[in-house]
Each structure stands twice: as C-alpha cells, then as structure tokens.
Amino acid sequence: MLVVGELINSSRKAVAQAIAGRNKEYIQELARKQVEAGAHIIDVNCGTSIGEEDKVMTWLVTSVQEVVDVPLCIDSPSAEALAAGLAVHKGQAMINSITAEKERWQEVLPLVQKYKAKVIALCMDDGGMPESVEDRLRVAGKLVPGLLEAGIPEDDIYLDPLIKPLGVNSRYGVEALEAVAALKEKYPKVHTICGLSNVSFGLPERRLLNRAFMVMCLTRGMDAFILDPLDTLLIGLLKAATALAGQDEYCLEYIAAARAGKIKA
Amino acid sequence: MAVLEELKEALMAGNANKVRELTQKALDEGIAPTTIINEGLIAAMNIIGVKFKNNEVYVPEVLVAARAMHAGMDVVKPLLAGDALEDKGTLVIGTVKGDLHDIGKNLVIMMMEGAGFKVVDLGIDVPVEKFIQAVEEHKPQLVGISALLTSTMMQMKKTVEGLAAYRDKIKIMVGGAPVTQKFADEIGADGYAPDAASAVDLARQLLAS
C-alpha cells in the first residue's frame, strides 16, 4: 500500500503563507511529520504561486529533500513547473499528473520518459470529465497502452479514476468504486490511486466520508492513496483494512504500527 | 397567503411533489403567478442560498431544493404572459478554454436560476470567441467565467480581455477554486464570488451599481 502525503499544497492557507514567506522550516517540518506518520511519498503543489510557480517548485523540492529521504510527487497543472521540480529532484519522482488530453499528454510524456518517473494517469481526455465506468475504461484504454508504448513500466503507472463529489450526485461514490474494480481487472499490474478529499466536497464531517471511502476503495483493489497522513484515524483504518484485505503478511505492519503508537483504536 | 408560507417550507425541505401541489393550490386561490414565483419559489431559494453560505445546509440539500423549485416553476410558467415576469437579468456563463471542470459552474447556474435569472450555459472548454458570440447573441447583463486549474487562470484573463469591447454593457464575474479577489482585480473583472450563493449576491450588486 502506497501512501502519498498531501499536505504540502498551496491551496491550504498555512502552506500558501509559508511559501509566500519562503518559510523553509514550516515546509520541512510538515514533510518530516508526514513521513513519520507513514507517508512513502510527499506531494508538493504550489499552484497558487502564479507567475513564479517554476521557481517556487524548485525551492519546495530542494527544501523538502534536505530533510526527508522519501521521493516527492511533483504536482502541478503546469508542465513547466513539473519540469522545474523534476530537474532538481533526487531519486525516482512521481508526476501528478498526465491525462489523455492531447496537449497535456504531449507536454508531460517527455518528462515521464526523461526522468523515469512514476506517473499518475488521470482518466480524463479532451471530451471532459468521465461520466461513467465505461468512460474511464475508454480513457484508460488510451493512457495505459500509450504509456507502455512510450517505455514506461507498468509498475510505474498509477491510474486515477477521477473522483467526483458525492454531494453532487449520490451515484458518484459507487461509480468510482466500480471503476476501480474494472480498471484493476483490465490492468492487474498497473496501480490505482486517488485523492480522498474530492468525494466529500459539499458535505458535513468530511473526514468520515474520506475514511469510509478509503476502506471501500481498498476492498476494490486500490493500492495507493493521496491522503492526509496526520489523520491518525485514517491511517489506523488504512493499516487495519490492508491487513484485513490479506496484504499484510502475519499482520506484522499492523502490529508494528500499533506497538509504535502510530495507530490507535 | 398562508399557502405561500407552506410552499416555501416544502421547497426548502426539497419536497418536489408537495411544491407542485401547493403551487397549484396557490393558483386555485387566485394568487398571481408572478407572486407565486417571486414570493414563494424564488424567496425560498434565496433562504436556501443564505443557509448554504452559512454552512447550515449542504450541496445535496440545495440540489433537492432546486429540483423542487423547478417542479413549481413547471406548473406556473405556462400561465405567464411573455413579459409578465420581472426580468432579473441574463447571465452567460462558461468554464474557460483548456479547463473541463463544471461542478462549481453548475452550482452557480442552479443558484442564479433559483434567484430568477435567465442563464445561458456555454459549458466547459469555452474559447474566447464563443463567449463573444454568446454576448452578441443573448445580450446578457452579466458574464460569468469559471476556472478550476491554476494553469487555466491565465485563460480567464484572456477571456476578460477578449470581452473589452462590451464592458459598457456587461459586468464580468469570475470564480473557481484557485481564483481570489486579488486575482479578479488584477485581471480587471467586475467581481469575484467565493461560492455559488455569493455569486447571486454579487450579481445583484453588480446590476444595482
């Protein structure tokens, strides 16, 4: 189970402030805490630094890698910012994200190849957001073969089914879950990943929905999540569900996390 | 007019069937269609809008309320003479080119329709020319521009610039997750709204100014 820590994102006010003031200590502390809590990869996003995103991304990547040993997930809708972050990244980075939109595909694919990065492949194309399981399978049918043809190993591909808010349509939860299962069945060696917070937009007590959704995704075969690793209940459920799904031999990870006090009932 | 109070309650509870019945009952009691719309259906949606802004109701509750409003509108609209309903204004709205997000935009449309505005939805991935064409064709008072990606915010600027020739006739409102008041000012929009209910307030302010 792969955990990508989502907290270094400039859409969060405190992070935007830290970035604006180049508060390196704050960013480094946030990275350290997420790794301690169990994140395997740290996402870095500075989308709100308009006009200087490349520069800020470079600063973020170097600052974070000064204090943690894990790879980073370079997260930006701008290909220039992705390139800037990848250029200074040490180790195998993850790119968030490529899509089947023509322009995006052409901009991002060379970066995936050049840096031999892991890549999140979002199930959308120029036709817009996917509206069904079939839409997602159709777009994944362009993404996966395209990436493989470009020489990207299956193990480096993370399909994101694109999660839409349950509050807008009460079928969006189950639709996403069915998509996970269908993608997993069609591409068993490719990973599936998603962010958890989209699903709860517009609803109260969002963390409850995020946590439940994580467990449900996991049972349908999802094996990577972009999440808040400092949500201890979420991490506890993740460890428990991983063990229950038969993916934690002798429950050793679960036991170790409990013994270390990292998870609690 | 106790029936209108009942109608508002039913609408806010999202009970479409009851709204349909009560709209008919109000008509049977001789209440004018425009009164039913303004003091019943739209008034109730306005209350929902305020509650939504204050986090007292949530997105799905707004959706069922809007559905109930449309159920009432369907009963009363055929009875309106063409120009009987006070014209609240027309909004042309779309998500900018390169951006395929529509959930936020659709919430704005719902609230604006709920407030009695006529809305022309241009959809997603809308190039500047299509905004211009729609302004020519529909002669709106308001243009709404949405962007959900930090990378498409600059397209928002281009869209505002593209509409320069019409600025004496239209007010431009912008919104979307990465957009701020500061950004709206920088690109020369007339206003920014952080959420769908605020968009209605903003529209009213812009039209009054």
| B68 plus B42 within the same structural domain | yes
| B63 plus B147 within the same structural domain | no
| B101 plus B201 within the same structural domain | yes
| B120 plus B58 within the same structural domain | no
Domain membership of residue A123 (yes or no) is yes
Q: Distance from CA of residue A226 to its chain's centroid?
A: 4
Burial readout A84-111 (b: 16 or more C-beta within 10 A, e: otherwise):
bbbeebeeebbbbbbbbbeebbebbbeb
Domain membership of residue B50 (yes or no) is yes
Is the ipTM higher than 0.90? The answer is no
Domain membership of residue B118 (yes or no) is yes
| A164 interaction partners in chain B (CB closer than 8 Å) | 103
- The C-alpha of B205 sits at a distance from chain A's nearest C-alpha, in angstroms, of 25
| B133 plus B34 within the same structural domain | no
- The C-alpha of B133 sits at a distance from chain A's nearest C-alpha, in angstroms, of 22
Query: Could you give the C-alpha distances from A52 to A20, A46, A75, in angstroms and in order?
Result: 11, 9, 15
Question: What confidence tens digit (pLDDT) does each residue in A143-155 have?
Answer: 999 999 999 999 9
Q: Which residue of A has its CA nearest to B100?
A: A128
| B100 interaction partners in chain A (CB closer than 8 Å) | 101, 124, 126, 128-129
**CB-CB contact of A97 with A125 (8 Å):** no
Domain membership of residue B94 (yes or no) is yes
Question: What confidence tens digit (pLDDT) does each residue in A76-93 have?
Answer: 999 999 999 999 999 999
Total number of domains constituting chain B: 2
Q: Residue A194 maps to which CATH number?
A: 3.20.20.20
Q: Residue B31 maps to which CATH number?
A: 1.10.1240.10
**Chain A CB within 8 Å of residue B58 CB:** yes
Cβ <8 Å between B58 and A204: yes
**Chain A CB within 8 Å of residue B124 CB:** yes
| B63 plus B126 within the same structural domain | no
Domain membership of residue A264 (yes or no) is no
Q: What is the mean pLDDT of residues B122-149?
A: 96
| B130 plus B187 within the same structural domain | yes
Cβ <8 Å between A204 and B149: no
| B26 plus B65 within the same structural domain | yes
| B7 plus B105 within the same structural domain | no
Domain membership of residue B181 (yes or no) is yes
Largest CA distance in chain A: 51
Per the structure, the complete domain to which residue B120 belongs is given by: 90-208
pLDDT > 90? residue A223: yes
pTM of the full structure: 0.88
Domain membership of residue B84 (yes or no) is no
Per the structure, the complete domain to which residue A209 belongs is given by: 2-259
Backbone angles phi, psi at A78, to 5 degrees: -100, 125
Burial of B19 (0-12, 13-18, 19+ CB in 10 A): buried
pLDDT value at position A50?
76
Cβ <8 Å between A50 and B152: no
Percent of chain A, pLDDT > 90? 93
| B114 plus B48 within the same structural domain | no
Domain membership of residue B85 (yes or no) is no
